[in-house]
Chains A and B, each alone.
Chain A
Amino acid sequence: MFRNFTNKLSGWLKTAASPRNLALLAPMALALLLSACGGDGHPRDTLNPAGDGAEVSAWFYWLYLILDSVIFAIVVSALVVAIVKFSKKDGDDTLPPQSHGNMKLEVIWTVIPTIIVVILGVITIGGVFKLSEKPAEEQKVIEIDVTGKQWWWEFDYRNEKISTANEMHVEEGTQVALHLTSADVIHAFWVPRISGKRDATPGRSYPLYFKATQAGEFIGQCAELCGASHARMGIKMMVHPVKGPDSYDNWVKSQKTVAAAPQTALQKAGKKVFETKGCASCHTIRGVKELTQRSRTTGPDLTHVGSRTTIAALALTNNVENLAKWVKNPQAVKEAALMTNLNLSDADSKAVAEYLFSLK
């Protein structure tokens, strides 16, 4: 049985699947492959830029893709022709010419790539310096201190004196300067449609400059392995228009206020839970309790937590049920999360969730 199978197989491999026959399919496969490499309007498509940094990267991508495709096509066609043309014919036992090489060819295929590499090098170096340009002094700059923490992002607005988590708000067309650092291990800040990534390194502060060119919401996440929940360290970038009710200025105004006072009985009970059950040792709510010192395990500023669309670095959508679920058992939502499980009762978690969600 097996012998039969292998005989059949070897016959098939010799004819249908011979390199000679398959080589003829290569050009088709090539065209297919290259078309698959293009942009496709995906939510985090690096080739559909919405920021100036991503634009530069995408420009380089297309440049290199075209160049690479040409080179690849040359190599594959040469290979295909060689296989088709120079496969040994049955019964032909003569030896091919025993030439050892060709100096002229060696020079050609060293010099031409060298020229290409030099040109590419000049263009690349231009791009490197363009991306690292500091924003001009006089223009409006949104300056944000970004701290990567296991496993969420803290955003402190330098001039506005507001602090948010995981959801970064910026203005369309306005220069943004991030100053990245970390409270523990190395993380990397990456919102693919806005800009390339930059590491957040403990003990250091490195800048990342960009301008968002398009209003909307853009998703990203930590790109440097940072421990168990590295996969759950999302970023949402909200790019506000300059004018209108949804403007960046309005957002800043609303965030600058202290926390709203609780209205309903349940919310009041929730505030109590926050104040008495130890939440306040890790979380600031301006107007209720402010932390003076931050540590590795300090949690996000919750003054306006109700205004966020997601919680726990995009792990959950923000609503009362999810808030309750989170505070009841953070580790069940996010492996190894650094927020202590305070063993709240169902009622307490419900109440505190109700309160937190009211903090718009």
Chain B
Amino acid sequence: MSAKLHDIEVLQAPEPHMHFERPGKTGLVDWLTTVDHKKIGVLYWLAGTFFLLCGGLEALLFRIQLAVPDNDFMGGETFNGMVTMHATTMVFLAIMPMTAGFANFLVPLVIGARDVAFPRLNAWSYWTFLAGALVINASFVFGGAPAAGWTGYAPLTGAQYGGSGIDFWWAGLALLSASSMAASVNFIVTILNMRAPGMTLLRVPVIGWMMLVIQFLLALSFPPVTVGLILLGFDRMFGSNFYNVSMGGDPHLWQHLFWLFGHPEVYVLILPAMGIVSEILPVFSRRPLFGQTAVIFSGIFIGFVGFGVWAHHMFTTGMGPVADAAFAATTAIIAIPTGVKIFNWLGTLWGGKLTFPTPMLFAVAFIPIFTMGGLSGLMHAAAPLDLQQHDSYFVVAHFHYVLVGGALMGLFAGSYFYFPKVTGRMMNDTLGKLHFWLFVAGMNITFFPQHILGNQGMPRRIYTYPADAQWDFYNMLGTVGVVVMTIATLIYVYNVIVSYKKGEIAGRDPWDAATLEWLTDSPPKMQNFDFTPIVLSERPVWDHKYTEGMEIIAPEKAEAFHMPSYSWKPMISSCFVTLLVVGLLLNTFNPGNWLWAISAVAAVGVVGSVYAWVSEPV
């Protein structure tokens, strides 16, 4: 059964009739007013990649400071700002938007839909995200970066201790959280309601499932941290005392609100990468994903339990043995579904016919590197051991294995894999492999020795260390590794640019893949599919090609469909939301100057633009 029965390239559709084309604009205006999920996906991905470079630059700078003991390349406050911005940028402005890029581009395609449920809300999410990103980074220009760590522990963020950077930080994060919550509702509705006929929930590809799980995580975990951020804003702007100890406030309140978000957030970052890997491994093993249902259910299970483990970040606060024991136990449970995923990936490779183009290299390397991060995470679950590892370089090593070796490498894999679908051209495989080997080497050179540094008692977030601490060798290695990773990433960016211009033409289905996105053109046309495919299995495109009687059949008569038209309203509305926040910031810096009036005007603008939005014909 090796020969293809049918070729995707020749699947002919009847000439569609009665369809309303989305009247598009061109050029820049097109990008500003688009409500097309594919274009919004590309915007997210580009912004994410841009901020990935920013976060990398920040890391490079503070790694220079740490390369040798007693260095004076930068001072403590600057260093703290760099560390805080590096983490905030990588988590919220690089990995999450790149993930959102994949979610936007792929979700409607893999479920056989023409767009997301609320296309204009989708655009609003993007513009609000971008505004939040700009507000956070504006701190560099106006009075210095936030320097309380990305975890922003109270009371270091309070008006008494934290500079103006904190204002930009909380306000920007509040915007990002509004963006994420809007997006999550959008995608939950899309995935649950807009699947093609025959696509039962268990036929939704793993990537679609993981995106669904993380939308629930976002929808449920962003509210607590948003409350936390707003309380912080009240403390800083109006002198309230939510976290002010001397007035009876409670700094641990912040930690609970933050980690109630922060831990599920870890899965928001890693589950999409797991979804991508679960798509890539079967394609280059030329067989179905082993235990697809088990992989999906373990993802759901991780999402659930992920809400019950947050206080494992707080073992050193002195919660008492009962809470410590409970959170240690729930955390260890997460190892089980994670293990199930890893073994199923191995099961997929086992007995396949493996080939190793760049996306497969990243996906395969993801397995051991992520496993490493998972296993050190299991160590942290043991509270008595975590008392040593918490806030040490061991933890730094752990979460970089998970987030760089895991999340980011998963996203790299996805970029190589889906690039042909997005642009219609292949990425250069040689450059891709060079990127891969350099990146894997660099990441291990940097982060593996950090386990040892942690065992040797090096705390995280210290801007310098004395020579007699004997941490210099591994720190120097760490800096060298970051240089290697930087070179690798620049090669990747170069590869994206040249491949976009000159890459080999891809065709619809360059990898001989299995899921619906490969059914349509590369890049897909505005309405995604000429006709809504009827789905008979969890591998509709594979079965179309290889299984007798399972072909996707074009209907004789074309169907009518309707695509929403472009709109300025989402962008205008998110501009007003941003202005509202900026007014509050200005007022904080120049109190008593009526600057809050800007916010008042902006609030009216928000209401007005939403009204205009609602009454706009689509």
The interface of chain A, by Cβ under 8 A from chain B, is 6, 9-10, 13, 17-19, 26, 33, 36-37, 39-40, 42-47, 53-54, 56-58, 60-61, 64-65, 68, 71-72, 75-76, 78-79, 82-83, 86-88, 92-102, 105-106, 109-110, 113-114, 117, 120-121, 124-125, 127-132, 180, 184-186, 188, 190, 192-193, 195-199, 201-204, 206-207, 219-232, 335-336
The CA of A347 and the CA of B325, in the complex, are separated in Å by 59
Closest to A19 in B: B356
The CA of A94 and the CA of B2, in the complex, are separated in Å by 5
A336-B372 in contact (CB<8A): no
Min C-beta distance of B164 to chain A, whole Å: 15
The CA of A98 and the CA of B148, in the complex, are separated in Å by 53
What 1/0 mask marks residues of chain B from 139 to 183 whose CB sits below 8 Å from any chain A CB?
Answer: 000000001110001011000010000000000000000000000
B1-A95 in contact (CB<8A): yes
B469: chain A residues within 8 A (beta carbon): 43-44, 219
Select the stretch in B10-18, B32-40, B106-114, B315-323 that faces chain A. Answer: B315-323
Q: Point out the residue from A64, A97, A121 that lies within 8 Å of B287, measured CB to CB.
A: A97
B194: chain A residues within 8 A (beta carbon): none
Min C-beta distance of B273 to chain A, whole Å: 17
A113-B335 in contact (CB<8A): yes
B354-A33 in contact (CB<8A): no
B388-A192 in contact (CB<8A): yes
B368 within 8 A of A: yes
Give the most central of B80, B353, B430, B457: most A CB within 10 Å: B457
A117: chain B residues within 8 A (beta carbon): 332-333, 335-336
B375 within 8 A of A: yes
Give the most central of A195, A224, A336: most B CB within 10 Å: A224
B457-A220 in contact (CB<8A): yes
A95-B349 in contact (CB<8A): no
B346-A192 in contact (CB<8A): no
B149: chain A residues within 8 A (beta carbon): 225
B527 within 8 A of A: no
B344: chain A residues within 8 A (beta carbon): 101, 106
The CA of A192 and the CA of B469, in the complex, are separated in Å by 12
Q: For chain B, residues 444 to 467, give those with C-beta under 8 angstroms from any C-beta of chain A.
A: 448-449, 451-452, 454-465
A230: chain B residues within 8 A (beta carbon): 76, 80, 461-463
SS class, residues of chain B in contact with chain A? helix
B75-A228 in contact (CB<8A): yes
Give the most central of A45, A47, A75, A195: most B CB within 10 Å: A75
* A53-B387, A57-B387, A127-B384 known; A86 vs B316 contact (CB < 8 Å): no
Q: Point out the residue from B77, B371, B391 that lies within 8 Å of A72, measured CB to CB.
A: B371
* A43-B469, A101-B347 known; A106 vs B433 contact (CB < 8 Å): no
Min C-beta distance of B381 to chain A, whole Å: 7
Select the stretch in B41-49, B244-252, B602-610 that faces chain A. Answer: B244-252
A202-B155 in contact (CB<8A): yes
* A98-B288, A229-B76 known; A37 vs B347 contact (CB < 8 Å): no
The CA of A336 and the CA of B340, in the complex, are separated in Å by 50
Min C-beta distance of B430 to chain A, whole Å: 4
B431-A6 in contact (CB<8A): yes
What 1/0 mask marks residues of chain B from 287 to 328 whose CB sits below 8 Å from any chain A CB?
Answer: 110111110000000000000000000001110110011001
B372: chain A residues within 8 A (beta carbon): 72
A82: chain B residues within 8 A (beta carbon): 346, 349-350, 352, 354
For chains A and B in complex, what number of residue pairs have CB atoms within 8 angstroms? Answer: 315
Closest to A111 in B: B336
B-side interface residues, number (CB < 8 Å) = 103
Closest to B337 in A: A110
B21 within 8 A of A: no
B563: chain A residues within 8 A (beta carbon): none
Closest to A57 in B: B388
Closest to A78 in B: B346
Q: For chain B, residues 371 to 399, give those with C-beta under 8 angstroms from any C-beta of chain A.
A: 371-372, 375-376, 378-379, 381-388, 390-392
B333: chain A residues within 8 A (beta carbon): 117
A10-B433 in contact (CB<8A): yes
A207: chain B residues within 8 A (beta carbon): 318
The CA of A94 and the CA of B245, in the complex, are separated in Å by 70
Closest to B330 in A: A121
Q: Point out the residue from B285, B352, B368, B430 that lies within 8 Å of A79, measured CB to CB.
A: B368
B75-A92 in contact (CB<8A): no
B378-A197 in contact (CB<8A): no
The CA of A276 and the CA of B523, in the complex, are separated in Å by 80
A58: chain B residues within 8 A (beta carbon): 388
Q: Point out the residue from A95, A100, A201 that lies within 8 Å of B292, measured CB to CB.
A: A100
What would 14 A/B residue contacts be, using CB atoms closer than 8 Å?
A: A13-B430, A44-B458, A78-B346, A86-B349, A88-B354, A93-B2, A96-B353, A100-B292, A113-B339, A128-B324, A197-B391, A223-B391, A229-B76, A231-B463
B385-A86 in contact (CB<8A): no
B367 within 8 A of A: yes
Q: Point out the residue from B148, B320, B355, B462 that lies within 8 Å of A88, measured CB to CB.
A: B355
Q: Point out the residue from A102, A124, A186 that lies within 8 Å of B251, measured CB to CB.
A: A186
* A127-B383, A184-B161, A198-B318 known; A95 vs B546 contact (CB < 8 Å): yes
A61: chain B residues within 8 A (beta carbon): 379, 385, 388, 455
* A64-B379, A132-B320, A197-B390 known; A75 vs B346 contact (CB < 8 Å): yes
B601 within 8 A of A: no
* A57-B388, A114-B336, A184-B155 known; A223 vs B459 contact (CB < 8 Å): yes
Min C-beta distance of B157 to chain A, whole Å: 9
The 10 A-B residue pairs with the shortest CB-CB distance in the complex, in nearest-first order: A196-B387, A44-B457, A206-B318, A192-B457, A203-B245, A231-B462, A101-B291, A127-B384, A60-B385, A10-B430
* A33-B448, A224-B391 known; A128 vs B384 contact (CB < 8 Å): yes
A88: chain B residues within 8 A (beta carbon): 286, 353-355
B437-A17 in contact (CB<8A): yes
B340: chain A residues within 8 A (beta carbon): 106, 109-110, 113
B354-A87 in contact (CB<8A): yes
B387-A195 in contact (CB<8A): yes
The CA of A135 and the CA of B280, in the complex, are separated in Å by 56
* A60-B384, A79-B364 known; A9 vs B161 contact (CB < 8 Å): no
What 1/0 mask marks residues of chain B from 244 to 263 whose CB sits below 8 Å from any chain A CB?
Answer: 01100011100000000000
A78: chain B residues within 8 A (beta carbon): 346, 350
A199-B318 in contact (CB<8A): yes
The CA of A65 and the CA of B455, in the complex, are separated in Å by 12
Closest to B428 in A: A6
Closest to B394 in A: A46
B288-A100 in contact (CB<8A): yes
The CA of A65 and the CA of B382, in the complex, are separated in Å by 12
* A44-B456, A75-B346, A196-B387 known; A64 vs B382 contact (CB < 8 Å): yes
The CA of A117 and the CA of B470, in the complex, are separated in Å by 36
Min C-beta distance of A200 to chain B, whole Å: 10
The CA of A226 and the CA of B157, in the complex, are separated in Å by 10
A46-B457 in contact (CB<8A): yes
B465-A197 in contact (CB<8A): no
B613 within 8 A of A: no
B287: chain A residues within 8 A (beta carbon): 95-99
B352-A10 in contact (CB<8A): no
A219: chain B residues within 8 A (beta carbon): 457, 469
Given A17-B437, A223-B459, 7 more pairs with CB closer than 8 A = A57-B388, A60-B382, A105-B291, A109-B343, A129-B325, A185-B155, A231-B463
